[in-house]
Chain A
Amino acid sequence: MLFHRRPSRLLVTSLVTFSAAALVGCGAPGASGGAPDRFVVIDAEELGRFNPLTGHGGNGESKIYESLYRVAEGQDDRIPDAVPVLAEGAPEPVDGDLGHWRVKTRKGVTFSDGTPFGPEDVVATYNAVVDPKFASPIAANFDFLRTAQVSGPDTVDFLLNGAYGDVPHRLFLAIAPSESLAAPGPADKLPLGDHPVGTGPYALTELRPDQVVLTARDGYWGTKPQVKTFVVRRTDDEKARAAQLAGSADGTRLSPALARAVAKDGYRTVVSKANDWLGVTLPSGNPVAGDAAVRLALNLGVDRGAMVRDILQGEGTPVSTLVTPLFGDAYDPAQDFTFDADRARKVLDDAGWRVGADGVRERDGRRAQFDVAYYPTETLRRDLTMATVSDAKKIGIEMKPVAVEKSTMTPQYLASTAFLLGGGGQPYTVDTQLYPKFHSRYAAKGVGSKWDNASDYVNPEVDKALEAARVERDPAKRAKLYRDFQAAYHAAPGMLALVAENHVYVLRDNGWQPGATALEPHSHGVAWGPWYSLARWTRK
Chain B
Amino acid sequence: MYNPQLNAQGQLQHLLSIEGLPKRILNDILDTAENFVGVAEREVKKVPLLRGKTVCNIFFENSTRTRTTFEIAAKRLSADVLNLNVSTSSQSKGETILDTVNNLIAMHADMFVVRHQQSGAAHFIAQHVPPHISVINAGDGRHAHPTQGLLDVFTIRKYKPEMHNLRVAIVGDVLHSRVARSEIHALTTLGVPEIRVIAPRTLLPTDVEKLGVQVFHNMEQGLKDVDVVMMLRLQNERMSGALLPSSQEFFQTFGLTPERLALARPDAIVMHPGPMNRGVEIDSAVADGKQSVILPQVTYGIAVRMAVMAILGGGNAA
- Tell whether A and B belong to one assembly: no
Query: Taking beta carbons and an 8 Å cutoff, which residues of A are in contact with B?
Result: none
Query: Taking beta carbons and an 8 Å cutoff, which residues of B are in contact with A?
Result: none
